A = this chain, B = another copy of it.
């Protein structure tokens, strides 16, 4: 991982982009398409076995740019909260075993029946505080992912890069950073200023495009780079200016992409990445 202009050498394929492939198939796909890194998902790692997954990616010479995902922290005190924290500790251990650059944390939405955003945000901060010692002990960086305000009610009460940074800055930089996902932050008029502020805290970058109009299932309104309205060049310039030297994942949730042959998807991912960011 060295700083410099982006090229295929910084590309990582997030497994969600080819979600019908199992871990071994995803690894093979990356190798076949000379994609040097992969973002893994816990369900596929569990299916293949943790040690076997770690061995597979190492044998293939792939870097693990992230493990997706931990988080979903917005529970009142009680069994659900205890269970969420225990699951996140397991996820940290998995990220360590896999050598992942970060464990991506999706904050979680409003607790059922609650309208108290401030309380939900405190629950997120408290949960991260609880996990930091484990992350430090195992050498894993937690990545707080701000989620598009579209998902504030049901998936992520941390909505902007600025708010995610305010949260991350409460903790040591080696333990907590932020995930910059183009889909979640592209609209933000403060993005450039917040990227500038994010120096040393960016632990993962994930890209997909914002497709217009949104499909009926708004979770799936993501497209290949270039298929939507996001201007990636200034965002990447801001990331590089902020000193980000890690991999850049392409992570696309889109039914048509999932229905396409995986080799076609990987080829398009590489082509678009090179054309727009190379």
- A interface list, Cβ under 8 A from B: 110, 115-117, 121, 148-150, 152-154, 158-160, 162-163, 186-190, 210, 212-214, 216, 218, 228-231
How many Å from the CB of A245 to the closest CB on chain B?
26
Indicate the member of A117, A150, A189 with the most B CB atoms within 10 Å: A189
How many Å from the CB of A215 to the closest CB on chain B?
8
A-B contact pairs, 26 of them (CB 8 A): A110-B229, A115-B229, A115-B231, A117-B187, A117-B189, A117-B231, A148-B149, A148-B150, A149-B149, A149-B150, A150-B214, A150-B218, A152-B186, A152-B187, A153-B187, A153-B210, A153-B212, A153-B228, A154-B213, A158-B189, A159-B187, A160-B189, A163-B189, A214-B218, A216-B216, A218-B218
Contact status A154-B189, CB under 8 Å: no
Chain B residues, Cβ within 8 Å of A159: 187-189
Contact status A212-B150, CB under 8 Å: no
Question: Residue of B at shortest CB range from A215?
Answer: B216
With the chains together, A154 CA to B228 CA distance in Å? 12
Select A230's contact among B115, B162, B188, B189, beta carbons within 8 Å. Answer: B115
How many Å from the CB of A168 to the closest CB on chain B?
14
With the chains together, A229 CA to B149 CA distance in Å? 13
With the chains together, A189 CA to B159 CA distance in Å? 8
Chain B residues, Cβ within 8 Å of A189: 117, 121, 158-160, 163
How many Å from the CB of A112 to the closest CB on chain B?
10
Question: Residue of B at shortest CB range from A150?
Answer: B150
With the chains together, A229 CA to B116 CA distance in Å? 9
Chain B residues, Cβ within 8 Å of A158: 189
